[in-house]
Structure 1
Amino acid sequence: MLSEQRELMINLERASENTNKVKTFAIALFAFSILCSVTLAEASMLLLAGVLVLGYYRENDPLSLFARIKGQPLFRPWMFYLAAGLLSALFALDTGKALRYLPSDLIKYACFAVLFAGLKKDGLAVMSRFYAAGAAFVAAAGIAEALWGFHINGNFDLRAGAFSNPVRFGEIMVIAATFVFSRLLASGDTETRAIWKTHVPALVLIFSAIVLSQSRGPYLGFAVMVGLMFWFGIPSRKKVARWSLAFLLIGGFISLLNPAFRDRLTGTPGVQPAGAVNYGDSSVGINIRLELWRLGFRMFSDRPILGVGPANVKSAFKRYHPAPIAYQETWGSIHNLYLHHMAERGLIGLAALLTLFGAMLALAMRNFRAERNAYTLWALTILPPYFIMNLTEISFQHIHTSFAVFMALAASTNSVSPDRSSL
């Protein structure tokens, strides 16, 4: 009898060890792939969710699972956001298309919940190593892409954009830069030298990649992030000021290589008709966005409460803007997350989005006040820049960026209290 019990205990320990190995692998894969592969990121989330549910059913009462889900941080704001999307979809111009889009909202919430449940303190070190390594790899790939364009064309018209378009690439790099910068600023004395050797080269690569992306939104987001680092002063404002000077020198040196960088920073809206576009004009992106924003306001004005419906901007485009905008007959994005929600989901959808964003920022602030470490600093200093970058894009709709921000918030919360998040 005793031998059977001993054998059972050994088998349970082995099963637990194997489960932990799979969980560690899933976290590492997610942290690396979120920078470059949606497929691998979603697969790793599914694997982590499976491990968590399996472990939960082994050790707890399955009937209490729903109570634990309800107790998860930000559960109510997320439910408000999902409910607002469903309500808008039911009254959409194209209800079928709107309803088919809603699973993408549910996937974002699922990622949020799984990361809160799975990325506990014992997984933060693995996440940190693989996320920093992945960021350096993707940054190097983006830089290589831009340098290859310079080699072929003699200029930097080919913008850095490895594994995604240049704007999204820049946003991905800003989120990663915030993490690496946080680690450098908040590292303890015992780990400073090791962090310095690995994270300084990574930060230089990432910042150079941001500059070579030639994307105004990420430029602004990065500047706001550095300002927040200076404001919160970890560990000292002098150190942040020295880094700021280094960023200016690196950015200035790269900008001297080609006038295109200066044009991107100083470009202003042109006077040509909305349907026309001068491909050599650095203001083309500004003109397109301004016209798309006007289109979004027209959609919102026509249906202010619930909007035209999720994923209905493209199908409703011709109804509100018969002429093409620049080089596309129709557009599926307003290129401003807040106007996009107003157009697609109306005032109710915008209120739900702002409620969720406000709750995320409040949670990050509570975590930072509870404990000042690299993870709480990362979450607190990336959320405002992320919200700002969404003024010219709809990054919350994209996995590369939204999932990375969820990872920052989960790491922040669980670095303070490993028991505050649960599936």
Structure 2
Amino acid sequence: MVALLLAATLVVPGGYAFLALALSVAGLSWRAGLLPSWKDAWTRPGVRWLVLGIAGYVVAYVLVGIVHGYKIQYYEPLIPFFLAPFMLAGARRWLPAQRSVWLGFAFGALLAGFMAWFQVYHEGIARAHGAHGNAIPFGHIALLLSGASLCGYLYFHRRQDHWVYQTVCLAGVGAGFVASFLSGSKGGWFAIFLIFFVWAWRVTARRPLRVRLAYLTAIVLLFPALLWFAPRELVWDRLIGGLDGAVHWLSNGGITEGSVSIRLEIWRFGLAQFWERPVFGWPQSEAISAMRAHLRQFDISDVLANLGTFDNLLVETLMSAGFVGLAGLVCLFVGVLTTFGARYLSEDDDHRELALAGMLITVFVLGYGLSVNVLGINAFRQVYLSWAALWLALSLWSPASWIRPDKSGYTDPSPSSGGS
């Protein structure tokens, strides 16, 4: 079941919320085991960092809302954060087999890649958007699926598991790239380089240092080659146009296109405004109105009506929440990253890929936040919290014993695991 929920992430309307909803309901309805699960999790290394990180973000968010006098609708984005402990308990109740989880991510990436190809080359849509209606969340979350598929491949590869599983996960890595390229969401493409880097470093873990460095060098050279074969209008034209816009903005401050140069100007304006109210920032409506008023001096009337965000998580936080909001943001990401980092360093190899996945999703979302206000989009919040809860629960409670497959055949690697 968990595998099906993960596979539906980008290809079913609202699919990104299915896992979060299912885990929350399972946790809320599990009265007998809810408190023991929380107590057990609290005693494990690193988990308290996660709790403190989420709590710090929620407290900062509420303080800003009180100061600015926001209505109750302002607090709606906090719902997934309040449900995070129940998601953890729900994952503990289900406790799916790791094999099912990794394959679910891989199938989700494969479906996303196919849907992106179908939309662009069969339906003639300019930029693939999956079931989201928005190319940016679709392309970015496709790369999260790709990164999770990478961790699945590393899991099956380390265990010398069936070659079919390894192949499916590698195909999922590539399909996530395809979906992202066809979405044209270039703000998240650094994640592709990071996926290659992590793959080379982990697969060559037992090789001599010179071999590992040779692999990394090959990856650095392969990345531009991969872009070369990508669709010209969706990748190269957008990269060149964005680079040209950045050069013009740096030289004369002009806005020449609706992607890079306009973002640079918005960020510059937002940071300048932040220093006028550095503690709690500006009310959101005033911040957006001031941004639009500032941009009217440029010839961008065709895109001005759609601008309702600063397209940068850091700038948006500083502008509308000040240093208080920034402190909450740091708590959230440092808390999650520290939790999975501690588990990566302290746990045995059987759970290492789960910890690696938790660190990667945090770094990816932070990277996405440089070009989009990720926590202002429901899909990113749901995915970030539900996947982190699932991986943490598996690293805390999934069985660590497994049977190495015989080279002459295939043996179930996790006979003692729960169902999927």
TM-score, scaled relative to structure 2: 0.76
Residue 34 of structure 1 corresponds to which residue in structure 2? Answer: 9
Residue 178 of structure 1 corresponds to which residue in structure 2? Answer: 147
Residue 61 of structure 2 corresponds to which residue in structure 1? Answer: 85
In 2: Cα distance, 1:352 partner to 1:190 partner:
42
- How many residues are matched? 374
In 1: Cα distance, 2:33 partner to 2:183 partner:
48
Contact preservation (8 Å) 1:225, 1:385: no
Does residue 143 in structure 1 map to residue 113 in structure 2?
no
In 2: Cα distance, 1:308 partner to 1:69 partner:
38
Query: What's the C-alpha RMSD, in Å, of the aligned pairs?
Result: 3.5
Superposed displacement of residue 177, structure 1: 0.7
In 1: Cα distance, 2:120 partner to 2:371 partner:
23
C-alpha change, 1:351 and 1:268, in structure 2 (3 Å) is farther
- Opposite residue 193 of structure 1, the aligned amino acid is W
Q: What stretches of structure 2 of length at least 5 have no aligned partner?
A: 207-211, 399-420
Q: Deviations over 1:250-277 (max 9, x none)?
A: 442224xx35522323323264898965
2:237 pairs, out of 263, 266, 269, with 263
Within 5 A, what are the aligned runs for 1:1-400?
Answer: 25=1, 27-28=2-3, 30-37=5-12, 39-42=14-17, 44-56=19-31, 58=32, 73=48, 74-92=50-68, 95-97=69-71, 99-104=72-77, 106-120=78-92, 121-122=95-96, 124-148=98-122, 158-164=126-132, 165-187=134-156, 188-232=158-202, 235=205, 237=212, 249-255=225-231, 258=232, 261-266=235-240, 267-269=243-245, 271=248, 283-309=257-283, 313-314=287-288, 317-318=291-292, 326=301, 327-329=303-305, 331-369=307-345, 370-372=347-349, 373-400=352-379
Q: Deviations over 1:101-124 (max 9, x none)?
A: 2121x2231343233222244354
C-alpha change, 1:384 and 1:289, in structure 2 (3 Å) is same
C-alpha change, 1:111 and 1:384, in structure 2 (3 Å) is same
Superposed displacement of residue 242, structure 1: 7.1
Q: What stretches of structure 1 of length at least 5 have no aligned partner?
A: 1-24, 278-282
- Opposite residue 128 of structure 2, the aligned amino acid is A
Contact preservation (8 Å) 2:138, 2:183: yes
Q: Secondary structure at the match of 1:191?
A: coil
Contact preservation (8 Å) 2:188, 2:367: no
Q: Secondary structure at the match of 1:200?
A: helix
TM-score, scaled relative to structure 1: 0.75
In 2: Cα distance, 1:85 partner to 1:310 partner:
13
Contact preservation (8 Å) 1:37, 1:163: yes
Contact preservation (8 Å) 2:20, 2:383: no
In 1: Cα distance, 2:356 partner to 2:38 partner:
31
Residue 414 of structure 2 corresponds to which residue in structure 1? Answer: none
In 2: Cα distance, 1:268 partner to 1:229 partner:
32
Does residue 409 in structure 1 map to residue 388 in structure 2?
yes
Q: Which of these two proteins has the greater Rg computed from alpha carbons?
A: 1
Q: Give me the identity figure in percent.
A: 18
Q: Deviations over 1:186-230 (max 9, x none)?
A: 314442412134223322222222222222222112213332444
In 1: Cα distance, 2:19 partner to 2:367 partner:
29
- Opposite residue 391 of structure 1, the aligned amino acid is L
- Opposite residue 193 of structure 2, the aligned amino acid is A
Superposed displacement of residue 350, structure 1: 0.5
